[in-house]
Structure 1
Amino acid sequence: MFVRTESFPQFLRLYPIISLIVLIHIVLYLVSSLPIFPQRWVFEQLAGINLFIKEGEWWRLVTPIFVHLGFAHLLFNSFSLVLFGPPLEKYLGKVRFILLYLASGIFANIITYLIKPLTYSHVGASGAIFGLFGFYIAMILMKKAFITRESRQVILPIVVIGVVMTFMQSGINITAHLFGLLGGFIIGWISGKK
C-alpha cells in the first residue's frame, strides 16, 4: 500500500492531485530561492502570520500549506505526501482527497491562529499531512478492511513517531500537527460511518 512501484509518468497519471501539490511546493521553493526576489518574499506574502490574518488576510490560512522554509522541510513534507497520499487519493478520488488535505491543513492553521500569539508565523504542509494520518487512524478503527494488517503495522508506528517527534524538535508548529491529525481523524470518522 505504501510502496511506490509506478514509473514517474504513471505516478503523475494515477495521482494528479498529489503531483500538483508537490509541484506547487517545488515552484514556491524555487521562486523563494531566485535572486530576483528578496530572499524572504514568498514567506512574507504567503506565510501564516497571525497578525496579518487578524487584519483580514484570510488567504494566509491556506497558503502556508504550500510554503516551506529550507530544502529539508520541503523534502520531508513532499516525500511524506508521495508516500502516504496515493492510497487515499485512489480511495477517495481527486475531489474528496483535496478536500481532506485542505480541510485538515486549514483547520490546523485556524487553530494555530486562535491559540498562538499574534506575533506567531508558520509555514509547511505538515498539518495537512497529519490530517492524512488522522484519516488513516479513523479508517483503521472504523473499517478494518480498508487497510491490510501489514499496512497498519507501517502507518501506526509512523503516526506515533510523528507525534513524538513533534514534541522533540524545535521550531515545530505543535498545534498544527495535533489539530491536523484531529481534523483528519474527524473527517475519517464521519466517512467511516457512511
Structure 2
Amino acid sequence: MFIRTERSVKEFFQLYPVVTIIVGINIFLWFIIDFLNLQIGQYIQFFGVGINAGIAQGEWWRIFTPIFLHAGVLHMLFNSFSLVLFGPALEQMLGKIKFILAYVGTAATANIVIYFIESPTYAHLGASGAVFGLFGIYVYMVIFRKDLIDQSSSQIIGVIVAIALVMTFLRGNISVLGHLFGIFSGFIYAPLLLAGARSYSPWAQPRPRKRTYADDDDGPQFDPNRWNRKKKIPEGIRKNKLWIIVGIIAVLWLLGQANIL
C-alpha cells in the first residue's frame, strides 16, 4: 500500500488527484511565503496561522488554514512526502470526497481541541494533524477492518504509529494535542469513512494503454513484451523492505518539526 509504483508525476496525478493538489498547494504557499517572500504571502501567513485569540474573535477560518501552511521548507517537504506515501491508498479506497473530508476534518477537529485547551496566545501551523488523522484511519483498519489491509501493511503502520507517538513526546516545538487528537479523530471517523470502501490495489487503477501490436486483427497475436513483464512486487523491494520501513520512520522523525510558532 505504501510503495509507489507510478511511472511519472502525470500518472500519479491521474490516479491520485486530491493528494497531488494538496501537495501542490503546500508547495505553492511555501514558494510565495518563504521562497519569494511576497507581500501577499505574508498576508496569507498572518491571516492563516492558527492563533487561538484570532479564533476567539470570530476568525473561524484559522481552524482550517493552518493545515496548508508550514514553517520552512523542511517542514513542508516532510509533511508533503508523508502525504505522498500514505495518502494515495486512502484516496483510492475512500474516493475523492471522503478523502478530502478525512484529511481536512481530522486536522480541523484537532485544531478545535487545541482552541479549547491551549492558551489564547497559542499559535500553530502544519499538516501533521491531518497526516496523523490518516494514521488513525489506518489503525482502525488494522484493528477492525482487516479485510481492507494486508498483513505487511498492518505491520508497517504499527511500527510507524508507535514511533510517531513516541517522538511526539520526545521532540520539542511539536503540537502534542494536534498529533494526538489528529490520530484519535481519524480513528473515530473511520467507521463512517470506510463504509463501502474496498481494499487498495495498485493494479486496480486504469493506466494509459500502450499499443504494442495491431489491434485490428482478430486472429492470434504476439505480444513482443511478454517475456519482459515485471513481477507485481519487484524482488529488490521484497529484499529491502526493512530499509524501506527505516526510511519511512526517518521521515516521520522530522514530521512534526515547527508545529508551534
- Same topology, TM > 0.5: yes
The question of 1:25 aligning with 2:36 is answered no
1:2 aligns to what? 2
AA of the residue aligned to 1:63: T
Q: Which amino acid aligns with 1:3?
A: I
**Could you state the TM-score of these two structures normalised by the residue count of structure 2?**
0.71
* Contact in 1 for aligned 2:94/2:193 (Cα 8 Å): no
- Which aligned pairs between 1:69-148 and structure 2 lie closer than 5 A? 69-148=71-150
- RMSD of the TM alignment (CA)? 1.5
Alpha carbons of structure 1 residues 10 and 169: separation in structure 2 relative to 1, 3 Å: same
User: For residues 38 and 21 of structure 1, do their structure 2 counterparts lie closer, same or farther at Cα, with a shift above 3 Å needed?
Assistant: closer
Letter in 1 for 2:30: Y
In structure 2, what is the equivalent of residue 166 of structure 1? 168
Q: Which residue of 2 is the match for residue 182 of structure 1?
A: 184
Which residue matches 2:62?
A: 60
Contact 2:98 2:193 in 1 (8 A): no
**1:183 Cα deviation (Å)?**
0.4
State which drifts further: 135-144 or 28-37: 28-37
Task: Indicate the residue corresponding to 1:152 in structure 2.
Answer: 154
Amino acid across the alignment from 2:20: S
Q: Name the amino acid aligned to 1:87.
A: A
SS at match of 2:39: coil
Count of aligned residue pairs for this structure pair: 194
Give distance in 2, aligned partners of 1:2 and 1:170: 28
Measured in 1, the distance between the counterparts of 2:21 and 2:41 equals 24
Structure-2 separation of matches of 1:163 and 1:189: 22
Larger Rg: 2
Unmatched runs of 5 consecutive residues or more in structure 1: none
Other structure's SS at 1:85 match: helix
Cα 1:40/1:102, change in 2 over 3 Å: same
TM-score normalized by the length of structure 1: 0.95
* Structure 2: distance between partners of 1:127 and 1:78: 13
* C-alpha separation in 2, matches of 1:19 and 1:193: 24
Q: 1:13-56: CA deviations, max 9, x gaps?
A: 10000001001101110111223328854321200000000000
Structure 2 spans left out of the alignment, 5+ residues: 197-261
CA–CA separation in structure 2 for the residues paired with 1:48 and 1:145: 38
AA at the equivalent of 1:2? F
> SS where residue 31 of structure 2 aligns?
helix
The residue number in structure 2 matching 1:35 is 37
How far apart in 2 are the matches of 1:19 and 1:81?
9
Q: Residues 193 and 89 (structure 1 numbering): CA distance in 2 closer, same or farther, change over 3 Å?
A: closer
In the alignment, which residue of structure 1 is the partner of 2:50? 48
Deviates more, 1:74-83 or 1:34-43: 34-43
Q: Cα 1:68–1:152, aligned 2, differ >3 Å: closer, same or farther?
A: same
- Mapped contact 1:142–1:192 kept (Cα < 8 A): no
d(CA) in 2 for partners of 1:192, 1:91: 8
* Deviation of the 1:125 alpha carbon: 0.5
Identity score, percent:
48
- The one-letter amino acid of 2:136's match is G
Partner SS, residue 155 of structure 1: helix
Query: 1:140 deviation in Å?
Result: 1.3
Does residue 11 of the first structure (1) align with residue 12 of the second (2)?
yes
